[in-house]
Amino acid sequence: MSEQTASEVSEELSAWLEENWDPEITLAEWWSRLSEGRWSHPTLPEEAGGRGYNREQSMAVTVGLADANVVGPPTGLGHMLAAPTIAVHGTQEQIDRFIPEILDGSTAWCQLFSEPNAGSDLAGLQARAIRDGDEWVITGQKVWTSGGHVAEKGMLIARTDPEAPKHQGITYFAIDMQQPGIEVRPLRNDWTRTFQRSIS
Ligand SMILES: Cc1cc2nc3c(=O)[nH]c(=O)nc-3n(C[C@H](O)[C@H](O)[C@H](O)COP(=O)(O)OP(=O)(O)OC[C@H]3O[C@@H](n4cnc5c(N)ncnc54)[C@H](O)[C@@H]3O)c2cc1C
């Protein structure tokens, strides 16, 4: 946990931006620099590529980046959900494997929780994962998967102990979205036409 005050955080960030911000470099290069400087997700612990900042220190970073008019860090479900979850519950090996490529924006994640019959209440979760030697074989269908068509990785929950009470026996998997057996289909709806009708 860092002991810096918010104004000390702002000063350190300003000095770093002076050295590192360059509007001519690519977005990928800039996000890589932000990640190396530990500014991409400063509330993560140091061992996960962050700075262990609290809310106030982190706000000083957000405001400092905005005031300097520079491009902010990558966003999305990997940044918001996968990285903090892995930082808290993952092994150091999993942290080193998954988090750096989230912090530099090179890997996009999606969230594979909701199912056709399991939305708000995950006790209805039906996706099953069965261990087969070194592999897990997962069977099921997910829905409402924002960014599922572009994500490289997914955080997926599946039932691993069907005998356990419904809110237990569920395991969180980090999976590759580009692998045989995963089929991503679009959900199409008629909202444009409905909207046009309602204003005509
Ligand atoms: C734009 C959008 C993007 C989304 N992106 C993702 C995503 O990327 N990944 C993902 O996993 N999910 C995603 N979701 C799904 C979302 O997070 C919810 O899980 C899902 O919308 C809720 O499920 P449902 O629509 O089947 O509603 P239901 O779960 O059937 O709920 C319907 C109503 O019943 C109530 N209800 C449900 N269960 C109970 C209960 N046990 N007791 C009392 N009341 C209850 C609810 O509060 C609600 O009012 C997304 C949803 C939207 C709209």
Mean pLDDT, rounded, of the chain: 94
Q: How confident is the model at residue 2 (pLDDT cuts 50, 70, 90)?
A: confident
Q: Is residue 59 within 8 Å of residue 9, measured between CB atoms? A: no
Q: Is residue 119 within 8 Å of residue 146, measured between CB atoms? A: no
Q: Model confidence over 109-163: pLDDT tens digits?
A: 999 999 998 888 888 999 999 999 999 999 999 999 999 999 999 999 999 999 9
112 CA distance to ligand 1 centroid (A)?
Answer: 13
Residue nearest to atom 27 of ligand 1 (CA): 119
Res 28 pLDDT > 60: yes
What pLDDT score was predicted for residue 190? 74
The three-state DSSP-derived secondary structure of the chain is: CCCCCHHHHHHHHHHHHHHHCCCCCCHHHHHHHHHHCCCCCCCCCHHHCCCCCCHHHHHHHHHHHHHCCCCCCCCCHHHHHHHHHHHHHCCHHHHHHHHHHHHCCCCCEEEECCECCECCCHHHCCCEEEEECCEEEEECCCCCCCCCCCCCEEEEEEECCCCCCCCCCEEEEEEECCCCCCCCCCCCCCHHHHHHHHHC
Same fold across 1-107 and 108-183: no
What pLDDT score was predicted for residue 197? 59
Res 192 pLDDT > 70: no
Q: How confident is the model at residue 198 (pLDDT cuts 50, 70, 90)?
A: low
Where exactly are the structural domains of the chain? 1-107, 108-183
Res 104 pLDDT > 90: yes
Q: How confident is the model at residue 193 (pLDDT cuts 50, 70, 90)?
A: low
What pLDDT score was predicted for residue 195? 59
Q: Which residues line ligand 1 (CB under 6 A)?
A: 110-114, 119-121, 144-146
Ligand 1 atom with least separation from CA of 114: 11
Domain 1-107 has CATH 1.10.540.10: yes
Topology, domain 108-183: Butyryl-CoA Dehydrogenase, subunit A; domain 2 (2.40.110)
What pLDDT score was predicted for residue 158? 97
Q: How confident is the model at residue 199 (pLDDT cuts 50, 70, 90)?
A: low
Ligand 1 atom with least separation from CA of 147: 8
Q: Is residue 48 within 8 Å of residue 126, measured between CB atoms? A: no
Residue nearest to atom 36 of ligand 1 (CA): 120
Residue nearest to atom 14 of ligand 1 (CA): 144
